[in-house]
Amino acid sequence: VFKFQPGMNKNLLPFSLILLYLLPECDKYSYKLKRMNVNNHHGNRKRPESFFLIVFILLITSYIQAQTQSFKGWPDEESRRDLVNKFKNPPKGYGNVPFYWWNGDSLSRERLTYQLDLLQSSATDGFAISYAHTHPGIELEENRAGFGGAGRTEPGKPEIFTGSWWEIVNWFAGECARRGMGMGMDDYTFAWERNGYFTDSILHTEEFRTYQGRLEMEEYKVGPGEALSLTIPDNLVTIVSYPGGKELSGKIENRLLNWHAPSDNEYRVYMVSTSPAPDLHPAYG
C-alpha cells in the first residue's frame, strides 16, 4: 500500500503509482519471456520487456521535463511567512539563478536567443549578467592607466555601456520577460573604484566619503583589580567588559574611560567603533 507522507512532492504521486503498477507486470512478462525464449530460438516474436523499457524511459523523460519548468517566475514576498512548508514545496521563483558571463564571442541576437532557449528549457528561473576582469600582469595595455580590484573590466563586444550594448540589453530584457525569466546585472569588476565607471563619480561625494560603514573592534586585557584608561574615539558604538557583559559607556567623561576591574577575575574589554567605508554604503551596489 502506497502511503503519501506529509511534505512529499505531490508531483511524484502519479509517477510512483505507475511504477507500482509496472513493476509486478514486468515481473510477470519476464517469466513469460523465459518460456518464449525456450520455444522460439529464432527470436521472431517481440520482446515484452522492450515495451516496458520504452514506457519507463518516456515516463522518466516527461517527469524530468515537468520538473524543470516547475519553478518559473519571481519570488513571492508571502513565501517568507510560511518558511517550513515553502521549503518542502518551493513556490515559483525559487529555482536556479546562475551567473551568465557575457565575455568571449561577440554578442548578437541570434546567439543570445539560442542560449536563452537552452536556459529556458532547463531549471533556470533567471540569471545575473556578469563580466570578468582583465589580468594586470598580462593585459598590460588595458591596465596601464591604473585599475581597481583585481583588474579592469573585460569590456566585451559590443563594449559594455555603449549605445549598441544598451540596445542588446534592452532587447534581451524583453525576451526574458516574454519567457517569464528574471534578469539581473552583476556589478562585479565594473563597480570597483578606479575602473572608469560610475563608481569613480559617486564615491567622492560627501554622502559616500563620510559614510561610517565599517566596524572596528579593539580588545584590552585587564587583570584582577587592575585599572584601564582609554581615549574614546568619536564614533563609539559600545564598550563592554567580559565576563558579565557589562556596558561601560556610563564611565566615560570627556572622551576618557577610567575603569577598575573587579578583583575576582581577569577581564577583557571590547571597544567597538565605526570608520569611513564608502564601498559599504547600501547604495554602492
Q: Could you give the 3-state DSSP secondary structure of residue 17? A: helix
For 107, how many CA atoms within 13 A lie in the half-sphere containing its CB? 22
d(CA 110, CA 114) in angstroms, rounded, equals 6
d(CA 22, CA 182) in angstroms, rounded, equals 40
Q: What is the DSSP letter of 189?
A: T
The arithmetic mean of pLDDT across residues 193-211, rounded, is 88
Please provide residue 272's backbone torsions phi and psi, each rounded to the nearest 5 degrees.
Answer: -115, 130
Q: For the chain, what is the mean pLDDT?
A: 78
Q: What is the DSSP letter of 47?
A: P
What's the angle, vertex CA 80, arms to CA 79 and CA 85, rounded to 5? 60
Residue 201: the pLDDT is 85
pLDDT over 70 (residue 206): yes
d(CA 285, CA 282) in angstroms, rounded, equals 7
The arithmetic mean of pLDDT across residues 144-161, rounded, is 91
Higher pLDDT, 101 or 50: 101
